[in-house]
Amino acid sequence: MDKRTLVALLLILVVFWISSEYLWNPVQTTQPSPVNQNPTPAQKQKQPTEPDFTTQQSSNRISSQAQKHETKEPEKEIPVNNNIVLENDFIKVSFSNKGAVLNKAILKNYKQSDGETPVNLIPPGQTALNVELATVYNINLEEEVFEYEKQPNEVIFYTTTEQGRFEKRFYLVENYHLNMELMVESQQEIGSYNIWIDSGIADTEEYLKMKDSDYRIVSQIDNDIEKFTLRKLDETRTESGNVDWAAVRSKYFALGIIPDELVIVNQLQAYQTNESPALRLTARINRYQFQHNYQLYLGPLVNKYLTPLGNGFEKIQEGQGILKPISSVFKWFLNTLGSVIPNYGINIIIFALVLKFILYPLTHKSFESTSKMQKVQPRMRELQAKYKNDPQKMNLELRKLYKEEGVNPLGGCLPLLLQMPIFFALYPVLRYSITLRQSEFLWLQDLSEPDKTLILPIVMAVFMFVQQKLMQPSKTDTENMDEKQQAQQQSQKMMMYVMPVIMFFIFRGLPAGLVLYWTVFNIMSIFQQYFIRKKFN
């Protein structure tokens, strides 16, 4: 097997490994049905335990208010309202005064997979942003019915009990930003308190095969990014340190919380609930009263909305590795095209053509080198026969021949090697960019998801076969080869049939937009190879 075939095999194995790691893990492929508001015992077992510094273990957590009501009738009964609404042009949030918790976060500009129902980030029957305080008793505000006052962009929940006065204020700032202010005056010293985003995040897409890797907890702790994908949350994960921010995210959306710089949140627990990631933040205070502020983000993973929150909150997005600069350029280019041409399928085709034009000098030289290599086979065979007993001299003469004829033995691998970093940089752009969400092109319903019909992966495999066929030497060139070279050629011929099949199985699980790019790029390479081959023949 020659070097070019070996390099191609290694690249296929790399792509195959990545695909098996991220695409072929068996996960749920349909959206789960709505769950009951009261979690089952099994769901309760998945919730994290209390940290060591709390005054009472999680298994013994009770609401002090529940104890109070058992011994003393309330002076007045406050009606429960589960639809206290704040809204702007971007979002509609709904609260319940029972626990002063969030029960809906409806994004007005984004639709579910049915194309009609607005996206709601809170799963049905679930709530988020409950507060629990650790004193002599663990005060769980989830069961407390709050009084409230509502203004157009603000709602204040407040209640006074035997344990103290508790107030939660929510203020809708702009777009998808919400502020939360927590004020407590307690009769006992508060060792710590917890804020829960235990609702998880709702399923908004039809294709959920990659849910175990798309859904995750992302946080910044002591300036380091920590990520826990859903598949890793079969048990509770605990991280200690200064929490700058934390979020529950799906493929396209996030529920994020950012403490004020004066608030010291020093522990995060990530766990799984209702087949979704969930989290709990713990702040240790050791005070009787406090006033803490938080910023909340309930919206899409769009850089212009994430960046203003500060502390690097935009790092919640994909594509933050060593290829981030390349991914950023690709994303900017596609978004710029999208502002002019609304069809992202056409934009991806234009992108492939532009990239092919930029890489043309390198790929052209590579294809020419491959064609020249086939032409010098007779002279190579003569040198190999002449110096068969002197390998060192033979290699020296072969290098001289390559230099004289302008031939690079590995030149045929260059196009594939150039494609790999581009491919991996483009993957997160086309896979996770919300601008491509539900973008249609021809028969493709969503360019960010795999082609259900498999038409595009089949077309891609056919053109890859044609490209491999063009790279094969002519019959005359084959006859001029020695036995060793003919054996190597048989190996390459086998790859011509095997490689398209392997790539089909890999690409059938990739975003249709990425397969479209690869197909268009290969078609352009076929034309380029054809004219070069015609020139040298």
Same domain, 112 and 258: yes
Q: Among 1, 3, 13, which Cα is nearest to 503's?
A: 13
What Rg, from alpha-carbon coordinates, does the chain have?
30
Least confident span in 104-118, 187-201, 251-265, 417-431: 417-431
pLDDT tens digits along 168-211: 999 999 899 999 999 999 888 899 999 999 999 999 888 788 88
Structure confidence by residue, pLDDT tens digits, 8-54: 555 555 555 555 444 444 333 334 333 333 343 334 434 444 444 33
What is the structure's pLDDT at 210? Answer: 85
What ranges in 118-219 are assigned the alpha helix state H?
211-214
Dihedral Cα 450, 453, 456, 457, nearest 10 deg: 70
Answer yes or no: do 267 and 344 share one domain: no
- Indicate the pTM of the whole model: 0.74
Residue whose structure tokens are 């990631």 = 277
Going from the C-alpha of 130 to that of each of 37, 193, 257, 260, 421, the distances in angstroms are: 14, 10, 13, 18, 44
Is residue 30 domain-resident?
no
- Tell whether 279 and 350 lie within a shared domain: no
Same domain for 167 and 96, yes or no, is yes
Burial label, 274 (beta-carbon count in 10 A; 0-12, 13-18, 19+): buried
Q: What is the DSSP letter of 443?
A: T
Residue 503 has pLDDT above 80, yes or no: yes
Neighbouring-strand partners of residue 283: 193, 265
Nearest CA among 498, 506, 512 for reference residue 453: 512
Lowest mean pLDDT among 152-166, 203-217, 473-487, 515-529: 473-487
Q: What are 126-136's pLDDT values in tens digits?
A: 999 999 998 88
Task: Give the pLDDT confidence score for residue 8 in this predicted structure.
Answer: 54
Distance (Å) of CA 483 to CA 401, 474, 487:
21, 16, 6
* Tokens read off for 534: 């015609």
CA distance 95 to 105: 9
When the pLDDT of each residue in the chain is averaged and rounded to a whole number, the result is 79
Residue 32 lies inside a defined structural domain of this protein: no
Is a pLDDT exceeding 90 seen at residue 123? Answer: yes
Residues 377, 257, single domain; the answer is no
6 band by pLDDT with thresholds 50, 70 and 90 = low
Are 530 and 384 part of one and the same domain? yes
Q: Are residues 397 and 293 in the same domain?
A: no
- pLDDT of 12 reads 59
Is 89's pLDDT higher than 90?
yes
296 and 178 Cβ atoms separated by less than 8 Å: yes
User: Measured between alpha carbons, how far is 105 from 102 in angstroms, rounded to an integer?
Assistant: 8
Last residue of a domain, one of 317, 342, 360: 317
Query: 35 lies in a domain?
Result: no
What pLDDT, on a 0 to 100 scale, did the predictor assign at position 396? 80
Beta bridge partners of 293: 181
Give residue-wise pLDDT tens across range 475-497: 555 555 556 555 666 666 677 77
Judged against a pLDDT cut of 50, whether residue 151 lies above it is answered with: yes
Distance between CA atoms of residues 37 and 59, nearest Å: 20
Among 327, 176, 199, CA closest to 253: 176
User: Is the model's pLDDT at 58 over the cut of 70?
Assistant: no
The answer on pLDDT for 154 being more than 90 is yes
Measured CA to CA, the distance from residue 72 to residue 298 in angstroms comes to: 39
Query: Rounded to an integer, what distance in angstroms lies between the CA atom of residue 269 and that of residue 246?
Result: 10
| Predicted pLDDT of residue 480 | 57
423 & 468 share domain: yes
- pLDDT-derived band at 392 (thresholds 50, 70, 90) equals confident
Asked if the structure places residue 28 within a domain, the reply is no
Percent of residues, the chain, with pLDDT higher than 90: 33
Residue 432 near residue 386 (C-beta atoms within 8 A): no
Last residue of a domain, one of 317, 346, 361: 317
Average pLDDT over residues 73-91: 84
Residue among 222, 219, 251 at smallest CA distance from 237: 219
Which amino acid does the sequence have at 116? E
User: In this structure, are 82 and 132 located in the same domain?
Assistant: yes
Residue 319 has pLDDT above 80, yes or no: no
Same domain, 148 and 89: yes
On whether residue 33 sits in a domain, the answer given is no
Specify whether the CB–CB gap between 238 and 196 falls below 8 A. Answer: no
Q: Is 140 helix (H, G, I), strand (E, B) or coil?
A: strand
Kind of pairing between the strands at 253-259 and 276-300: antiparallel
**Any domain includes 31:** no
Residue that terminates a domain, selected from 249, 282, 317:
317
Q: With beta carbons less than 8 A apart as the criterion, state whether 381 and 477 touch.
A: no
Has residue 528 been placed in a domain? yes
Does residue 301 belong to any structural domain of this protein?
Answer: yes
- Which of 64-73, 117-126, 421-430 has the least mean pLDDT? 64-73
Q: Which of the residue ranges 105-114, 396-405, 406-415 has the most confident prediction, judged by mean pLDDT?
A: 105-114
Q: What is the amino acid identity at position 267?
A: Q
Report the alpha-carbon angle 19-320-178, nearest 5.
115
Count of domains for the chain: 2
- The pLDDT score that the predictor gives to residue 406 is 64
Task: Give the structural domain span for 198.
Answer: 41-317
> Is 442 in the same domain as 520?
yes
Look at residues 128, 121, 276, 243 and name the one whose alpha carbon lies nearest to residue 197: 128
Q: Which pLDDT band, with edges at 50, 70 and 90, does 425 fall under?
A: confident
Q: Is the CB of residue 215 less than 8 Å from the CB of residue 201?
A: yes
Taking every pair of Cα atoms in the chain, the longest distance, rounded to a whole number of angstroms, is 108
Nearest to 251 by CA among 219, 206, 281, 295: 206
Phi and psi torsions of 489, nearest 5°: -65, -35
Average pLDDT on 110-137 reads: 89
- Give the model's pLDDT for residue 157: 96
Which two three-digit tokens encode residue 369? 């080198």
- What is each CA distance from 510 to 23, 143, 313, 440, 517, in whole angstroms? 8, 46, 27, 16, 11
Distance CA 334, CA 458 (A): 25
CATH code of the domain containing 75: 2.70.98.90
Tell me what pLDDT residue 475 has: 58
At 456-470, the pLDDT tens digits run 999 999 988 887 777
Q: Which amino acid is at 159?
A: T
* Interval 323-378: pLDDT, tens: 778 888 888 888 888 888 888 899 999 998 988 888 777 666 666 666 666 666 66
Verify that 368 and 473 share a domain, yes or no.
Answer: yes
Q: What does 278-294 look like in DSSP terms, one character per residue?
A: EEEEEEEEEEEEEEEEE
